[in-house]
Amino acid sequence: MFLINRNLHSFIDEGLLILRITMGPLMAIHGILKILAGAKTLTAIGSAISILGINEGFYFFGLIAALSELIGGTLVTIGLLTRIGALMVAATLAVATLVSWNNGFMAYSKPLEDLVVMIAIFITGPGRYSLDQAIFGGKK
């Protein structure tokens, strides 16, 4: 009961660090695995953009999605340009959620959950334990 009733606001920065060093690498791994899978996989992933009425350039869009996850996830992990990194990943996850929507809850719930986490990181920022804080300073 001690932890449940205790005010843990003083540990927000630690919580953000845990969130970043968990979700960032997971997103980066998704990106690198897509790239390593090759052109056929990237083209298939990019074809998801057709849900938005775009019917060409699938390889390009697949590569952009994979790089967004890889670079964005890495930025979130190290806490450098964290909000930009979170936004990059969130954009990819928004499309993934839309693409999965008609396939039922089990299909869209995971990208939606990850999207919400990236939006939360975008809103809160990286916290004290980040390169953003070390380089740019700001509110502590």
Summarised one tens digit per residue, pLDDT across range 41-87 is 999 999 999 988 999 999 999 999 999 999 999 999 999 999 999 99
DSSP state of 38: -
Inform me whether the pLDDT recorded for 110 exceeds 90. Answer: yes
How far apart CA 127 and CA 17 sit, in angstroms, is 7
Task: Give residue 19's Cα distance to chain centre.
Answer: 11
How far apart CA 35 and CA 15 sit, in angstroms, is 31
The residue ranges of every structural domain in the chain are: 21-135
Residue with tokens 């979700």: 23
Q: For residue 38, is it left (φ>0), alpha (ψ between -120 and 50) or beta?
A: left
Summarised one tens digit per residue, pLDDT across range 31-49 is 999 999 999 999 999 999 9
Task: Give residue 126's Cα distance to chain centre.
Answer: 13
pLDDT at residue 10, rounded to an integer: 83
Is this prediction's pTM over 0.85? yes
